[in-house]
Structure 1
Amino acid sequence: MQASLESLKSRFRSFVEEVRREKDQVLIISHYDADGLSSFSLMAYFLKKNDVPFHATFVEQVYPETLAQLPFENYSYVVFLDLGSGYKNLIRERIGDKHKVFVIDHHIPSAPEDTDKIVEINPYLAGINGSEETSSSTLTYYFLRDYKEVKSLVHLAIVGALGDRLDNGEKRSFKGINREVLDEAVKEGKIEARIGLRLFGGSSRPLVQALASTMDPFIPGLTGNETACYNFLRNIGIEPKNGDNLRTVGSLSGEEVSILVTGLVKYLVWDHDVSPKEAQEIVERIRGYNYYLLTEKPESPLRDLREYSSLLNALGRLDAYGTALAINLGDRGTHLIRAIDIAKNYRKELAKLLSLAHEKFDEISLQGRDTVLVVLEEATPKYSGPLASILSYAVSQRVKSKKMLGVAVPFSEDKYKVSFRRLTEDIDVGRTLQELSRKIGFEGGGHPAAGGALISRDKIKHLLEII
């Protein structure tokens, strides 16, 4: 029987009220990306305001190896954020009945809910598409907003949703609960939504840097190369400098924006053999809604919420969780300086790995029946997701006959962490991985458009044969 949002809210409130009343230690287990970090910050702020003690750990996923290392016996309550719904059987086996478990997740649930052992807050249980209409951060905020403590942090809900690329409506707008939370933030004067160029860093960043830093979409030859971007702009008739200073994105006239868009299409077609249709699709992804945090100064890297989410993703992938929490709860100064430096290093490494994948694509790719798998032995597990997301667009012309693209990176001596992205609409990645995990013997799941797996090296070829 399908639950309703009200019944989920009732479950949420009962659990939260018990935690507030008992004030026993809470263990929070969160994913480390922007959505997970935003969800965690909202929950941590709420618990702190209510004098509830907690500890937190950030994980790749609730794999058996991960659960085995966590000290559940020291806590009365365990909260999973942005993960857990796909692995409830593993959670039950590891934790048992001695602890009260609470899951807030927007990934596809793996098994029927069991509210006696696990209190699960998942949009799919209420018939809501968690892969399109809500992130874990908007879900966390949606249910916590009745408690006034978190109202000031509404922007974190949107930061998390942007980190999961849920701006999937017309012109990069939001849908469902994400849209409801955004409208609330706009009404309260916290966020502004404005259509424009979606180059990295907003209108105040130098144009050359913004173009070079743009990875969504990945622009071959320009992403990660400021010199190439400078020369490209001059070649199409846009002067990158005004006197001695680099021009900003916001300084472009309407005519120059049109010149830039047309120039990018021609550049992709003529210089990189991209089809006119795909080139147009790539460029169209550069235009749409931008979201600005009005409480931040125009020059702040937190002003543009996409840059904010990108910064959180970098902090999470380089294990700087304390810095991420400090920034989310309002600290700036040295925390922000450190975050900017970490984000630069992360983007530099990501650009290097993307260039490697492009240059050696045929050499490092394994071809399956409907899937192509890019094996990057040089990467670490936390890079597989971003690499898969970007490459699924960047190399789509080279893998037209395939339905999915995966990026495999070493997880341990005998296992790969694999991130998958769909290339066609006729496949549900998350459910496909769930079904195959039971047949072959690995851990896997996710969303219709994206998913992940932890699989032994000797099973990779078998997976490719049947996926």
Structure 2
Amino acid sequence: MVMGKSEKDFFESCKIAAEEILNHVKKEEFIPIFSHNDPDGVAAGAILAKAVYRLGGNFLLRIIERLDEVTINEIEKIHSNFYVFAEIGSGYLDVLRKLSEKAKILVLDHHRPLELSYPNLIHVNPMLHGIDGAIEISGSGVCYFVAKEMDEKNLDQSCLAIVGALGDLQDKTKNRCLQSLNKQIVEEAKNKGLIEVTEDLLFYGRETRPIHKAISTTMNPFIPGLSGEEDKCLGFVVNLGIPLKDGDRWRSISDLTQEEKQKIFSQLTIYLSSKGFSEESIFQLVGCVYTFLEEDKWTPLRDGREFASLLNACVKMGKPGIAASLCLGSRGETLDEAQNLLNEYRKTIGQCISLLMETPKTIVEHEKMYVVRCYNIVDEKMLSPIATILSISGGLNPNKPIIALTNMKDGRIKVSARASQTLTDKGLNIGLIMQTAAEKIGGKGGGHSVAAGATIPHGKEEEFIHFVEQMIKETI
């Protein structure tokens, strides 16, 4: 791979971070690792934890939801000379400054960074080197390159970095394939014989579930009338004249002939077009399939997106420890519990989407955006996936960003925002808008150009919405 200057500088920063971790391992110092509570964050933390473990280092891996004063006070109770933050931290460098007065801090992230630097801070972020952290490399990808610098044995963590990138929806390209530095990680995994990449229909459980169940459990994209509706999916397949069984065995998507796959895709294209879906949304059903060859067949961990879906469900259902255990190699009962959580999560998501669609004045179209008021309908942990599903479901105008809001347990308001790649290509940066608008009213926000979030004070919602819409108008 021919590297530009920015990539060389990025890899040099990864090397510096690796040397810092190695130095603390050699000193036999305790290394607390804090990672974000999403699939990419859990994978990132697990990659670093395993890298330190292999060297005989002492570490703690903790999954955290956010960085604020309360979290920092809790972290300070864990005494160490060195704290590591994985897939979180770049947007909270101001909050972390307090911690740097007592110890060294290493931030490995890919979100939009604050323009801050101070003593005792080592900050690795691809965006500091002109690399887009939204589509070119994930947080787990950053941690993978650091781990690889620590020891070449950590090349086998490439699969986790791929899971993290898919969990972060970095495959939101037209062909649903990972690009740039993410693709480099895929190639390294292929060279190690760890992964096979093919192009196919992207239904959940394409190798492990009967055809109709695979269609019904697909949430990305969300198919109105079919996602979550197993009986209707059964009828859909039967009406196409496609055999559901081969003898006594249920057939899976991977068992279908090319002609049968084309028949399903063609019929879904007609159906989704009638529902107002764009061509771009419909083609989200086809893309690169990432198969992990060392995982057991007939388990969801063999497929990169299904692995990421399991991690996401565990985190959103309040069980990040199960997600971390999966990433660190636990299977058996851990996998069974994760699958149960996924089933519960999908049921919850389906109920939330239905309620939002049925409840008047929850989804309101503005001149330049949609505002989705999810109060008392969507839990704060579910807001992000709900915003994502709404943004890719095809039922809303893709040329308008989506701003979703809901109540938090501590009384504040959580915001999750999504924008299409088409809008970002025109110059829209929803992460910058979230950061700026939140700060204007005493909140905190940030993220990527296509996906971002914020936490704002209760009672400031309409003021926040006004600022967001004004900035969108000024941009596009």
Which range, TM-score by smaller chain? over 0.9
* 1:334 is aligned to 2:333: yes
Q: Report what 2:370 is aligned to.
A: 372
1:79 is displaced (CA, Å) by 0.9
Distance 2:39 2:400 in 1: 27
Question: Counterpart in 2 of 1:50?
Answer: 55
Note the 1:247-396 alignment, pairs <5 A: 247-270=251-274, 273-274=275-276, 278=278, 280-360=279-359, 362-366=360-364, 368-376=366-374, 377-394=376-393, 396=394
The residue number in structure 2 matching 1:223 is 227
Compared CA separation, residues 287 and 73, structure 1 to 2 (3 A)? closer
Task: Decide whether the 8 Å contact of 1:27 with 1:75 is kept in 2.
Answer: yes
- Helix, strand or coil at the partner of 2:454: strand
Q: Are 2:419 and 1:419 equivalent residues in the alignment?
A: no
Asked if the contact 1:367–1:373 (Cα under 8 Å) also holds between the matched residues in 2, the reply is yes
SS in 2 for 1:332: coil
SS in structure 1 opposite 2:300? coil
In structure 1, what is the Cα distance between the partners aligned to 2:22 and 2:248?
59
| Cα shift at 1:441 | 1.8
CA drift of 1:330 comes to 2.2
* 2:262 alignment partner, SS class: helix
TM-score (norm 2): 0.90
Deviation, structure 1 residue 245: 4.1
Q: Measure, in 2, the Cα distance between the counterparts of 1:282 and 1:244.
A: 35
Match of 2:10 in 1: 5
Deviation per CA, 1:117-170, whole angstroms, max 9, x where unpaired?
A: 311110011221111110011111112113134222221110101101112445
Cα contact 2:11–2:145 (8 A) shared by 1: no
Structure 1 contact 372–405 (Cα < 8 Å) conserved: yes
CA distance in 1, matches of 2:367, 2:297: 49
Give the drift of 1:349. 1.1
Q: Which runs of 5+ in 2 are unaligned?
A: 469-476
Q: Which runs of 5+ in 1 are unaligned?
A: none
**How big is the alpha-carbon RMSD for the aligned residues of Structure 1 and Structure 2?**
2.1
Alignment check: 8 A CA contact 1:72 1:78 kept: no
Return the match for 1:409 from 389, 406, 421.
406
Q: Which of 80, 83, 87 is residue 82 of structure 1 equivalent to? A: 87
1:118 aligns with 2:93: no
Task: Give the aligned partner of residue 471 of structure 2.
Answer: none
State the alpha-carbon separation in 2 of the partners of residues 452 and 300 from structure 1. Answer: 33
Amino acid at match of 1:25: F
Aligned partner letter, 1:121: V
Report the CA distance between 1:338 and its aligned residue. Answer: 1.4
Q: CA deviation at 1:341?
A: 1.2
Q: 1:263 to 1:465 in 2, by over 3 A?
A: same
Shift of residue 375, structure 1, vs aligned partner? 2.2
| 2:349 alignment partner AA | L
Identity of aligned residues (%): 30
Matched, 1:25 2:24: no
3-state SS of 1:223 partner: coil
Q: Decide which moves more: 133-142 or 171-180.
A: 171-180
TM-fit CA distance, 1:207: 0.7
Residue 431 of structure 1 corresponds to: 432
Query: Aligned AA for 1:409?
Result: T
Task: Decide whether the 8 Å contact of 1:4 with 1:125 is kept in 2.
Answer: no
State whether residues 369 and 466 of structure 1, in contact with CA within 8 Å, keep that contact through their aligned partners in structure 2. Answer: no
Tell whether 2:136 aligns with 1:133: yes
Q: Which moved more, 1:341-350 or 1:66-75?
A: 66-75
- Residue of structure 2 in register with 1:157 after alignment: 161
Aligned residues: 457
- With the length of structure 1 as denominator, give the TM-score of the two structures: 0.92
Partner of 1:70: 75
Q: Is residue 91 from structure 1 mapped to residue 96 from structure 2 by the alignment? A: yes
- Say if 2:83 and 2:106, in contact at 8 Å, map to a contact too: yes
Compute the displacement of 1:243 (Å): 4.7
Q: Kindly tell me: are residues 197 and 386 of structure 1, through their superposed partners in 2, closer, same or farther at Cα, counting changes over 3 Å? A: same
Letter in 1 for 2:46: S
Aligned to 1:100: 104
Between the aligned partners of 1:219 and 1:55, the Cα distance in structure 2 is 41
Local SS of the residue matching 2:459 = helix
